[in-house]
Amino acid sequence: MTGKEEIKEVRKYLQQSHDRIFENNKKWAEEMRKKKPEFFTDLSAGQAPEYLWIGCSDSRIPAEAITGLEPGEMFIHRNIANLVNNIDLNVMSVVNYAVRHLKVKHIVVCGHYGCGGVKAAMTPKDMGLLNPWLRNIRDVYRLHQDELDAITEEEAKYDRLVELNVYEQCRNIIKTAAVQQCWAKNEFPVVHGWVFGFSDGLLKDLKFDHEGQLKEIQKIYNLTQEQDG
Amino acid sequence: MPTYIDPIDHILAGNRTYQQHTTQCDPDAFTNLAQGQAPDILWIGCADSRIPETTVCHCKPGDIFVHRNIANTVHADDLNAASVVEYAVTHLKVKKVVVCGHTKCGGANAALGDADLGQTLNTWLHPVRELRRRHKIELDKLPSDDARSARVAELNVQQSIEVLKQHPAVKRAVSERRLTLHGLIYDIGAGQLKILDDSGSKKTTGLWSPN
Ligand SMILES: [Zn+2]
Ligand SMILES: [Zn+2]
């Protein structure tokens, strides 16, 4: 193929992949309207989701689809390796809005086995712009170094790091003023840690002990008392 | 009388239904997904629960790499979104970057008013509130708050795209392999996506025309 033809082919492909999204969207909107004529009118009245989902950006884990929830039911933040960093204004704004304004009842941190972000973080290599973000995962490793070093099988070690990363992010959510203050008043939101597996398509509950961890964390990170004025 | 279902049991049950349904349609679905991902599109959208990107685009798991935050805002100094863009563009080599705003956006609505949302959200929404100031004359002429909020959502999408164009990975991919950026608005009341005419490089390449 000449260069020009190649460009033409690429353009055709891009056009098709683009058109597909719009065609699909139209089809979906029609189907939903057929099932429930007032569906979109109801949605435009506002949102009152019960859940906040903090998951990985990975294309294979569309949160609503894998939990069977409909539009309007789950507030979503997705980033590389589902991290919750206390100086990240982006995720902190999401947690703040979901807890203080939407008053969600549950916060789910969902990681997944085979996470490219976690893998990248454990690669002994300069990852450029990604270094500061991935550093958080290396820190999780360091916090659990004894346990992880003891696992000899590479795949098992990596799976366990994925789980421990979820655990630590659940703890990070509990460290926020928004969650602690809301919990003191209402006994919600409850924080959950899950991992999604591609091998079976199922969510695994890591049984994060919300109340126990909150107590433990507040020995140091207690922000329950509200700001003055 | 409706019986109470624990909300967590509800979504875990939903996941089992999804898993069974997916396996019935394609017994190899999960084996294939486990091989890896090669999405064509990076979607930067609002955290709003009413716009599940893969569902509203009727796409399949594996099709769209996703970042969602309050009001689909991209700040130049935000490492979270910048890391997502870096990973998607440099490592996954997505072909398109989409920023999708929407009507009835809580973030856009909040930016139209001066309510104190707390330090965190005030800071996050500051660039969106700045849009209101910069486009005051145009916005004042609009007939309703809904219309003003929809227009702010559009302006915000364009602003996010301008910031994205300065991302080093995006710059490189635009010149080396014709990565394109596109602005969309999702109309919540109609369930439909609309492409913003003057967004991205659509005009110059003529690639993106939905009709
Ligand atoms: Zn991942
Ligand atoms: Zn929104």
Q: What are the mean pLDDT values of chain A's consecutive 10-residue runs (229 residues total)?
A: 66 70 84 88 87 97 92 96 97 97 96 95 93 96 97 96 98 97 96 93 94 96 89
Nearest chain B CA: its distance from A176 CA (Å): 12
With beta carbons less than 8 A apart as the criterion, state whether B199 and B161 touch.
yes
Residue partners of B86: CB distance under 8 A and separation at least 6? A128, A129, A130, B167, B169
- Per-residue pLDDT reduced to its tens digit, A206-216: 999 999 999 99
The burial of A18, by beta-carbon neighbours within 10 Å (0-12 exposed, 13-18 middle, 19 or more buried), is given as: buried
CATH number at residue B68: 3.40.1050.10
Look at the domain A47-221 and name its fold: Beta-carbonic Anhydrase; Chain A (3.40.1050)
* B72 secondary structure, DSSP code: G
Residue of B18, B75, B210 lying closest to A22 (CB–CB): B210
Nearest of B67, B65, B182, B77 to residue B124 by alpha carbon: B77
Task: Give phi and psi for A192, each to the nearest 5.
Answer: -125, 145
Asked if the C-beta of A68 comes within 8 angstroms of chain B's C-beta atoms, the answer is: yes
Measured CA to CA, the distance from residue A73 to residue A127 in angstroms comes to 36
Instruction: Read off the DSSP letter of residue A97.
Output: I
Question: Hey, which residues 119-158 in chain A have their CB within 8 Å of chain B?
Answer: 120, 128-130, 132-134
Is B84 inside any structural domain? yes
- Indicate whether B32 belongs to any domain: no
As annotated, the active-site residues of A are: 56, 58, 60, 112, 115
Residues in Cβ contact with A181 at an 8 Å cutoff, skipping those fewer than 6 apart:
A223, A224, A226
Cα–Cα distance, A196 to A142 (Å, whole number): 23
Q: Cβ contacts (< 8 Å) between B53 and chain A: which residues?
A: 62
> What pLDDT is recorded for position B199?
46
How many other CB atoms are there within 10 angstroms of residue B146's CB atom? Answer: 14
Q: pTM for the complete prediction?
A: 0.91
Identify the band that residue B210 occupies on the pLDDT scale cut at 50, 70 and 90: very low
The C-alpha atoms of residue A13 and residue B2 are separated, in whole angstroms, by 50
How many structural domains is chain B composed of? 1
Q: Are B48 and B101 in contact (CB under 8 A)?
A: no
Q: Report the relative pairing of strands A203-205 and B41-46 from DSSP bridges.
A: unpaired
Q: Considering the domain boundaries, does residue B67 fall inside one?
A: yes
ipTM of the complex: 0.91
Residue B143 within a domain: yes
Residues B90, B80: Cα–Cα separation, whole Å = 15
3-state SS, residue B73 = coil
Token pair for residue B26? 């394609």
User: What are φ and ψ of residue A26, in 5° steps?
Assistant: -60, -45
Any domain includes B123 = yes
Report the residue from B34, B40, B180 with minimal CB separation from A114. Answer: B34
Share of chain A above pLDDT 70, in %: 94
C-alpha B56/C-alpha B53 separation (Å) is: 5
Q: Say how many CB pairs under 8 Å bridge A and B.
A: 245
Asked if residue B100 lies in contact with residue B52, where contact means CB atoms within 8 angstroms, the answer is no
Cα–Cα distance for residue pair A63/A75, rounded to 1 Å: 10
B180 interfaces chain A, CB cutoff of 8 Å: yes
**Is B4 among the domain residues?**
no
* Distance in angstroms (rounded) separating the CA atoms of residues A70 and A67: 9
C-beta atoms of B50 and A28 within 8 A: no
Rounded mean pLDDT of chain B? 90
Domain span including residue B101: 37-203
Residue A22 has what pLDDT?
78
- Report yes or no on B104 lying in a domain: yes
Asked if residue B108 is part of any domain, the answer here is yes
Q: Is B14 a residue whose pLDDT tops 50? A: yes
Task: Measure the CA–CA gap between B99 and B157, rounded to whole angstroms.
Answer: 6
In this complex, is the C-beta atom of B122 within 8 Å of any C-beta atom belonging to chain A? no
**Residue B211: per-residue pLDDT:** 33
Q: Tell me, what's the pLDDT at B107?
A: 94
Distance (Å, whole) CA A15 – CA A61? 25
Band the pLDDT of B207: cuts 50, 70, 90: very low
Residue whose token pair is 């789980």: A163
Residue among B30, B58, B59 minimizing CB distance to A199: B30
The pLDDT score that the predictor gives to residue B147 is: 95
